[in-house]
């Protein structure tokens, strides 16, 4: 079975969002435990709202993450 797509009734979809967060003035703040705390907070928010985090990477002044919207009801909240 192909599970790259979500199915709901007669709909078939795969919604992914790439988000880049940058610190103000590109200050190098995302080091060590701060980066870990931010990652954990993002995972907590994603679990609360029903998103799946596919990938997440941090650098000293920015972070990238890609999320997949799983449920069809999530579209109604956006």
Per-residue pLDDT reduced to its tens digit, 21-30: 999 999 999 9
Query: Stretch 68-73: mean pLDDT, rounded?
Result: 69
* pLDDT higher at 43 or 77: 43
- Which of 68, 77, 78, 76 is CA-nearest to residue 6? 68
pLDDT in tens, 22-54: 999 999 999 989 999 999 999 999 888 888 899
Task: Look at residues 31, 16, 17 and name the one whose alpha carbon lies nearest to residue 62.
Answer: 31
- Average confidence score pLDDT of the chain: 85
Give residue 70's pLDDT.
74
**pTM of the predicted structure, to 2 decimals:** 0.74
The H or E element spanning position 51 is: strand 51-58
Give the count of alpha carbons within 13 A of 66, CB side only.
5
């Amino acid at each position: 079975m192909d599970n790259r797509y979500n199915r709901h009734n007669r709909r078939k979809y795969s919604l992914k969002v790439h988000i880049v967060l940058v610190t103000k003035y590109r200050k190098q703040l995302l080091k060590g435990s701060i980066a870990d705390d931010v990652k954990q907070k993002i995972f907590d928010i994603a679990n609360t709202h029903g998103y799946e985090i596919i990938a997440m990477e941090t650098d000293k002044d920015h972070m990238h993450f890609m999320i997949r919207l799983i449920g069809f009801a999530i579209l109604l909240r956006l």
